[in-house]
Structure 1
Amino acid sequence: MTPRHTPYDGSSKLFQIGLKPLDAHDWIDADVHLLTYLDAKDQVMNRAPHEVFVAEAGTEAAQGEVLHLLADHLPQRFPDTYHRFGPQIDIVPAFRRVRMDAPFLPPLLIAAGLVQEDLVLMRKGDDGWRLSAGCVCFASSWSLPEKFGKALEVIHGPVPGFSAGTRNATIMDRIFDNLTPDQPVVRWNWSVYGNDELHHPHISPPHRFDDGIYLRLERQTLRKLPVSGDILFTVRIYIDPLEALNRREDGAELAQAIAAQIEALSPEELDYKGLTVEKDRLLKRLGEIAG
């Protein structure tokens, strides 16, 4: 398939915050891969539930707020895909029926079973905004249990330019503090991986491209919950083979844009992205696509 999104065109710079206002109508993105993603979530949740779901005591109400927000939004935004009948939601293309009041299931876990996005709750405390609950089945080289309960600046500690005391860390705290329920925001992140696995939580060694080269995109949104005051962080993963650029009329230009951004990375940034070993092979292939 031809890539739908191309944040690597230069519009979403790596290692920059890049948040933009988001129309609430476009908050969630459901597409033809919905069933594939939901099936993949089921597999991960059944295989390793403690790796993909965490929650502090006292977050149940905020989790329920997320579930009801999605239950109201999805049938309106995607009426051909989601049908709601009281506490029950039918996901038509996926042949699924989800009960919002399922006993013994955390509301955030139920909510994550409705959408392709991963869901994370951030709560303000004495040490700033911390990860208080989350259902993350498709982490991109990070561990949810390791980040659980940690403050924002600690979560971002390994990211070059975002550790505690940096200007970016200060700006992120300010953005979280000033976010309002009526104005969600969105940003894009992207990386280059050597496989197309959705579930990729392990902190991998430098990527090897022996099995192919894939563009891994993250569409990230932040939305303040009006009742609890918590902030919901969503991450939607898209994976496209690099070769798919050949199917776009602007593929050569996109390849040039990716190459320019890879060339501009510092050694620390290149290492964080896992591209130190394969940089030359990646640039060579991008050059071939660029003609």
Structure 2
Amino acid sequence: MDPILQKQIPYNPLMQKALPGIQPLAMQDWLRPDDVFAAQTAARAQLLDTRREDVLMLDVAAMPAAQELLRMVLAQLYAPDSQQVQPGDGPPVTINWEDPLGTLGRIAQQDFCILEKRGDEHVMTGAVLCFPASWQLAEKFMAPLTGIHTPIASYDASIAARVQRLFDGVQPGRPLWRFNSLWYRDAELHQPRRRYKERDDAFNATAGYMRSEKQMIIRLPETRAVVFCIHTYVLARKDLVAQWGTGPAAEIG
């Protein structure tokens, strides 16, 4: 199967930024499709058909937040009262309110993680994560923010406190975003990796593909849950260089 590759990316992933690198985002931009929308949504549907237990988890208490998220996505990409939609040129998808994350995984290009305040931290209470970049949903589900980011060395106590303040402070209609960047040898979108398994030589600046996630933080106005939304870009080195030049060797977590 040919790799699914974008030809362009709407920001320069080679631009080094200090963590956490957060910027404001216009609400109309958080679900903007790109040139591989149809291919990525088809890949997501296949993963949900064949590996659902790996890519989707939802705590029963997070169902209201998942349904609110589905309403928001429908309103922006399709129509709020849709009963059936057609993503790209793929088959129609029936809206299933009893399976909101499964439905989202088939109608949107992005991955979605739901985080709800439990005690002092936000906890991942649900996610549809078809395109993990070297992590596993099972190891992060129902974990707080500090646990989610273990064992990232740069995610120290100071960064953890700043990120928690961001999740506490983000307001409805005023999303935030950042990006990460890593060179990969393999263009595969579904790349899970266990927490303490060492990265191999796929992660170096001589590899052929740039993988970058546009990571967005959105507050749901009714349930007040926070959504961590991930739009994954994978570009061949030649296409990235054609758009942005060589730049520094990116390895931004």
**TM above 0.5:** yes
CA 1:246–1:170 in 2, change beyond 3 Å: closer, same or farther?
closer
Partner residue, 1:31 = 34
Match of 1:192 in 2: 183
Q: How does 1:94-133 map to 2 (within 5 A)?
A: 94-101=89-96, 105-133=98-126
Is contact 2:13-2:179 (8 Å) kept? Answer: no
Aligned pairs for 1:76-87 within 5 A: 84=79, 86-87=81-82
Off by >6 Å, runs of 4+ in structure 1: none
Contact in 2 for aligned 1:56/1:132 (Cα 8 Å): yes
Instruction: Name the larger-Rg structure.
Output: 1
Question: Residue deviations 1:13-59, cap 9 Å, x none?
Answer: 2x611111110011112123112111111221222211101111111
Tell me, yes or no, if the aligned pair for 2:183 and 2:208 is still in contact at 8 Å.
yes
SS in 1 for 2:13: helix
Displacement of 1:74 in angstroms is: 1.1
Equivalenced residues, count:
244
Q: Which amino acid is 2:59 matched to?
A: E
List aligned pairs for 1:257-268, cutoff 5 A.
Answer: 257-259=247-249
Cα offset, 1:206, TM superposition: 1.7
Instruction: For structure 2, list consecutive stretches of 5 or more residues without a partner in the other structure.
Output: 1-5
Partners of 2:150 and 2:12 in 1: how far apart?
A: 24
Partner of 1:172: 163
* Distance (whole Å) between structure 2 residues aligned to residue 219 and residue 227 of structure 1: 25
The aligned counterpart of 1:220 is 215
- 1:173 Cα shift? 0.6
Q: Is the 8 A contact 2:212 2:234 kept in 1?
A: yes
Work out whether residues 88 and 97 of structure 1, in 8 Å CA contact, stay in contact via their aligned partners in 2: no
Preserved contact between residue 8 and residue 258 of structure 1 (Cα < 8 Å): no
Mapped partners of 2:182, 2:203: distance in 1 = 13
Match of 1:206 among 176, 200, 215: 200
In structure 2, the CA distance between the partners of 1:8 and 1:35, relative to structure 1 (3 Å rule), is: closer
Distance 2:36 2:84 in 1: 19
In 1: Cα distance, 2:59 partner to 2:175 partner: 24
Note if contact 2:24-2:174 (Cα within 8 Å) is conserved in structure 1. yes
**Matching residue's letter, 2:124:** L
- Counterpart selection for 1:8 from 13, 17, 22: 13
Contact 1:212–1:241 (8 Å) recurs in 2:
no
Q: Which moved more, 1:45-54 or 1:200-209?
A: 200-209
**Does structure 2 retain, via aligned residues, the 8 Å contact 1:109–1:135?**
yes
Distance in 2 between the 1:226 and 1:142 partners?
A: 29
Question: Structure with the greater relative contact order (CA < 8 A, sep ≥ 6): 1 or 2?
Answer: 2
**Pick aligned residue for 2:144 from 148, 151, 154:** 151
SS in 2 for 1:119: strand
Take 2:150 and 2:73, find their aligned partners in 1: how far apart are those partners?
31
Q: Which amino acid aligns with 1:258?
A: P
Which one-letter code corresponds to 2:209 in the other structure? Y
Matches within 5 A, 1:61-80: 61-75=64-78
Taking a change above 3 Å as real, the CA distance of residues 168 and 212 of structure 1, as seen in their structure-2 partners, is closer
TM-score by length of 1: 0.77
1:218 and 1:246 mapped to 2: Cα distance? 18
User: Which residue of the partner structure matches residue 22 of structure 1?
Assistant: 25
Question: What's the RMSD between the two structures over aligned residues?
Answer: 2.4
